[in-house]
C-alpha cells in the first residue's frame, strides 16, 4: 500500500490502524484474505474468520504476523447466532476489545427463479444478510460498552459491510444474491442511523467485478474477460487489493466523517455503461 501521511495523527498509512483490533469474516480467501492482510499491514491485530479451509486461514494468520501484529484464526459460521456470539466474545478475551468489524463472508447459490429451491434462497440470505446483522450486532455491543478511546481512534468502532454493485444493479439468475446485497445496503444505512450518536461508524464497500474464486468463470479466459470488460468503463477487472485498500481507508480516521455511505469500488460498473453509446 502506498505510504502517505495522516497529519491528524502523525502516522504514515502503514500505521493508520496501529493499536486497533479487527475481525474479518470469510478471511481465508479472495477479498477477505486481502482485507485481513491489508488491515495487519496497517497496524491492526486481526482475527481471521473462516468456515472451511483451516489450513488456508492459518497461512493468512502467518502473513499478518509478519507485520509484527497479532493474529489468530477462528472457525465460525456467521449465519449461526451462537457461533458469532462466541467468536466476538473470544476476540474480546484475547485482544481486549474490537475496533473494526468487516462483515465480508458471503456466497452464491445461482439458479433461474423458476428452478431456485427454497434452500438455495435461504442459504444465501442466511449468510449474506443475517450473518452481517449478527456480526454487526455483537460488535456494536462491545463498541457501546467501551466507548471512544481517543488514543486509538476518533470513533468508538467501525462496521464495514461488504456489499456489491448488485446492491443497486439487478442480476437475473441470481435473485437470492442480489436480494441479499440490496438488503445489506438498507441494513448498513439503518445501522448507521441508529449507531452514529454512539460515535460508531457504519459504512459499506461494494465491489464490482473482482478476480476471486467465486467468479472465476467470468474472467479466467481471454474471451470471458473481454465480455466482462464491456461492463466496466475503466477497462480492467479489479483485484482483491482494490477492495482491501478501500476497507483500510474507510476504517481509518482519515474518513472519520464518512457515515452511512456505500463506497463502490467497481471501475465504473455502476455508471450503466450501456448508455454511453445509446439511450
Coil, strand or helix: which one is 18? coil
Distance in angstroms (rounded) separating the CA atoms of residues 15 and 254 = 12
Residue 279: the pLDDT is 61
* 162-202 pLDDT tens trace: 999 999 999 999 999 999 999 999 999 999 999 999 999 99
Kindly state the cell numbers that stand for 150.
Answer: 481517543
Residue 213: the pLDDT is 76
Residue 205 has pLDDT above 60, yes or no: yes
Confirm whether 177 is a catalytic residue: yes
Confidence of residue 10 (pLDDT cuts 50, 70, 90): very low
Q: Measured between alpha carbons, how far is residue 83 from residues 10, 74, 77, 86, 129 in Å?
A: 38, 10, 6, 5, 16
* 11-42 pLDDT tens trace: 445 689 999 999 999 999 999 999 999 999 99
Segment 98-109 shows an average pLDDT of 95
Question: Of the listed 50, 177, 234, 257, which one is catalytic?
Answer: 177
- Cβ-contact 237, 228 below 8 angstroms: yes
| Lowest-pLDDT choice from 116-125, 183-192, 270-279 | 270-279
Residue 101 has pLDDT above 50, yes or no: yes
Distance in angstroms (rounded) separating the CA atoms of residues 227 and 220 = 11
Burial class (CB in 10 A: 0-12, 13-18, 19+), 161: buried
Confidence of residue 212 (pLDDT cuts 50, 70, 90): confident
Amino acid at each position: 500500500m502506498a505510504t502517505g501521511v495522516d497529519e491528524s495523527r502523525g502516522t504514515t498509512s502503514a500505521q493508520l490502524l496501529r493499536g486497533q483490533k479487527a475481525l474479518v469474516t470469510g478471511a481465508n480467501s479472495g477479498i477477505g484474505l486481502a482485507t485481513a492482510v491489508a488491515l495487519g499491514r496497517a497496524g491492526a491485530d486481526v482475527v481471521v474468520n473462516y468456515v472451511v479451509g483451516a489450513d488456508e486461514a492459518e497461512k493468512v494468520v502467518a502473513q499478518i504476523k509478519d507485520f509484527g501484529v497479532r493474529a489468530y484464526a477462528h472457525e465460525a459460521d456467521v449465519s449461526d447466532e451462537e457461533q458469532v456470539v462466541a467468536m466476538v466474545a473470544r476476540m474480546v478475551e484475547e485482544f481486549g476489545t474490537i475496533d473494526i468489524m468487516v462483515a465480508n463472508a458471503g456466497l452464491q447459490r445461482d439458479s433461474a427463479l423458476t428452478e431456485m429451491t427454497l434452500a438455495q434462497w435461504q442459504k444465501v440470505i442466511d449468510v449474506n444478510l443475517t450473518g452481517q446483522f449478527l456480526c454487526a450486532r455483537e460488535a456494536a455491543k462491545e463498541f457501546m460498552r467501551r466507548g471512544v478511546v481517543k488514543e486509538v481512534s476518533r470513533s468508538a468502532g467501525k462496521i464495514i459491510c461488504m456489499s456489491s454493485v448488485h446492491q443497486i444493479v439487478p442480476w437475473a439468475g441470481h435473485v437470492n444474491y442480489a436480494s441479499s446485497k440490496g438488503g445489506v445496503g438498507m441494513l448498513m444505512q439503518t445501522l448507521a442511523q441508529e449507531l452514529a450518536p454512539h460515535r460508531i461508524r457504519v459504512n459499506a464497500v461494494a465491489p464490482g467485478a473482482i478476480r476471486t474464486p467465486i467468479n472465476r468463470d467470468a474472467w479466467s479466459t481471454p474471451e470471458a474477460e473481454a465480455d466482462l470488460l464491456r461492463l466496466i468503463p475503466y477497462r480492467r477487472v479489479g483485484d482483491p487489493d482494490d477492495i482491501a485498500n478501500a476497507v483500510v481507508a474507510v476504517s481509518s480516521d482519515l474518513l472519520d466523517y464518512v457515515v452511512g455511505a456505500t463506497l463502490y469500488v467497481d471501475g465504473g460498473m455502476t455508471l450503466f455503461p450501456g448508455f454511453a453509446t445509446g439511450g
